[in-house]
Chains A and B, each alone.
Chain A
Amino acid sequence: MTDVLRIENLGHSYGKFKVIEDISLSISKGEMSALIGPNGAGKTTFYNAISGHFPPTRGKVFLNGENITGFAAHRVVDKGMCRSFQITNIFAALTVLENVISPLIIQQRKHFKIYGNVFKDKQIIERAMLVLEQIGIADRADQVVANLAYGDKRLVEMAIVLARDPSVVLLDEPTAGMNPEETENMIKLIKKLANNSGTTFFITEHDMKVVFSLAEKIYVLHQGHLLAQGSPGEIRSNEHVKEAYLGRKVHA
């Protein structure tokens, strides 16, 4: 079984309202996948339900063959799936380096260690600097994150996520709020990371340009249901998708 992430009949309701329903998909290792859908289609709910933000009402989630349905967020991360958020989710008053060290401390099970200077922990510092170099923000390691430009903050979140060396990375709109140049750089970065590491990326995106330049497989979510799945070419020519979603945008 080569599926790193498999989702079976996933559904979530708020009271009687079914936000997402009967979503099944499987992602193989190294396959760059994207989840698209109009606002309110249930993308973020889907992400939250599989990443431990809240347990899904129905269905199952398997990560590397293991059933992780309903696991709390920190256990999902321990099992190898880490995510970013639509609204940048970082440690604002800490430095870039401290932002990346924090997940590494937890990864190495040193988060209850109440003595010792973490900045002299060679293993952690070297790994942290390596991640920052990969992302391209090593030169800003000592800066307080709150003082960084918006695009750099997004990069810091990327570094936080990658520091845990996850087998699956969920990126919730990685280019949201970015200018064209930053968007371009983010696409390049994600491509580079996907090629160089054993990490499988699964992204949601609003920006169709980003999706079609990145994804090998696209899932289309519409009113809480999986409307279509396939290669970018197949999705482009799918009549249902055009009608429900792309059509309006393409001819706008």
Chain B
Amino acid sequence: MMKLLRHKLFGPTVLAVLLFFAPLIISTYSVMILSEILIMGLMAISFNLLLGYTGLLSFGQGAFFGLGAYCAALMLQAGYQNLFLILLVGMLASLLASLVVGFFSVRLDEIFFAMITLGFGMLFFSIAHNWLDVTGGSDGLPVFVLPSLSLLGNEITFYEPTRMYYLVFGIVLLGLVLLWLIVHSPFGLILKAMRENKQRVSFVGGNVRLLRIVAFAISGAFTGLAGVLFCLFNSMATPEFMHWSFSAKPVIMSIIGGTGVFLGPLFGAGIFFVLEQIIIQYTENWMLFLGIVLVPIVLFFPQGVFGTLRNKIFKQGVK
């Protein structure tokens, strides 16, 4: 029994089953919150490919999230209805943008890397905010028609929140499986090696700059995927996605959940939204209380809530 519990896929499988059946039990409103948690969880885990695995703190992930969202909105407004084409184009656009941003950013470290990615993020925000003809400016781009899916001769639409949830669930699950495979691949081990000691990596023959660009591009592509999903979920792409305060969300979620565990940032996203839901019932100043909650988490859960609890229960080292 303990052996089964300790198997590294046991927890994620249970979680996936729970998430699959959740809409049967919880309210429609909660289903929408859960959709948002999954989308932001995908963004946070993509972000954590950089922070937790590669050791790079990006403060500009909102740019790629927003890019994915704007791609989806523009395509839908132009009449493109193929769901997979929209997902693919959103991801590709974010991949290309993150290749360019990565090319200029990865030679820097720590605070300098954080600042240059923040700078690029603000640049993207300004474009989205000011290029009225294309992006709709501060109003954003609304989406009126959602793409549908043909399955076994049936046309499935996603206007109903539970259906939207299953679309989000399916795509996020696929994204997380791919990211899981990547962090456990040879490339994934080299990322961890760079996090530990990038000088050593270059002195055993690794081109650190190129490796980092690839990591940054993969992270950007999956962040873009999350952005596409959020645009469909939200029926809207707004410049706010590209604002630096939005880029801070995956940072906070990863720190809350734990950067040393693959699913940590997803739990962080969950805690973030559940806290928000509880606190806004009592006060509008929810950020104040988020701050109050964040301080003890950073102090007493050095590996994040999820990471620290998991290590306490299973006595596993962070890897």
Contact = CB atoms under 8 A, between A and B. Distances in A.
Nearest to B218: A114
Interface size class of A (residues with CB under 8 A): 35 or more
A106 B182 contact: no
B114 to A, nearest CB: 21
A105 B304 CA distance: 31
B206 to A, nearest CB: 5
A91 B200 contact: yes
B189 A107 contact: no
A85 to B, nearest CB: 8
Interface in A92-124: 92-94, 98, 101-103, 105-107, 110-118, 121
A110 B192 CA distance: 15
A217 interface: no
Contacts of B214: 112
A221 interface: no
B181 A114 contact: yes
A154 interface: no
B196 A111 contact: no
B291 to A, nearest CB: 30
Given A74-B208, A163-B204, A164-B205, A106 B319 contact: no
A112 B200 contact: no
B203 A89 contact: yes
A160 B187 contact: no
A102 B188 CA distance: 10
B204 A164 contact: yes
Interface in B178-218: 181-182, 184-190, 192-193, 195-197, 199-208, 211, 214, 218
Given A89-B200, A92-B197, A94-B192, A114 B185 contact: yes
Nearest to B184: A117
Contacts of A72: 202, 207
A147 B84 CA distance: 48
B318 interface: yes
Contact of B196 (A92, A101, A112): A92
A92 B188 CA distance: 16
B204 A102 contact: yes
B204 A106 contact: yes
Interface stretch (A75-83, A182-190, A240-248): A75-83
Contacts of A107: 205
Contacts of B190: 102, 105-106, 111
Contacts of A83: 203
A112 B205 CA distance: 13
Given A93-B318, A94-B193, A94-B196, A82 B185 contact: no
B317 interface: yes
A171 to B, nearest CB: 13
B202 to A, nearest CB: 4
A218 interface: no
Contacts of B199: 89
B187 A111 contact: yes
Nearest to A83: B203
Nearest to A99: B193
Contacts of A74: 202-208
A73 B203 CA distance: 6
Contact of B206 (A90, A98, A106, A121): A106
B206 A51 contact: no
Interface in B85-119: none
A144 interface: yes
30 contacts: A72-B207, A74-B202, A74-B204, A74-B206, A77-B202, A82-B204, A89-B200, A91-B192, A93-B192, A93-B196, A93-B318, A94-B189, A94-B196, A98-B189, A102-B190, A102-B204, A103-B204, A106-B190, A106-B201, A106-B206, A111-B187, A111-B190, A113-B187, A114-B182, A114-B218, A115-B181, A116-B185, A117-B185, A118-B186, A164-B205
Given A114-B181, A114-B188, 18 more contacts: A51-B203, A74-B204, A77-B202, A77-B203, A90-B200, A92-B196, A105-B190, A106-B190, A106-B206, A110-B186, A111-B186, A111-B190, A112-B211, A112-B214, A113-B187, A116-B186, A117-B185, A118-B186
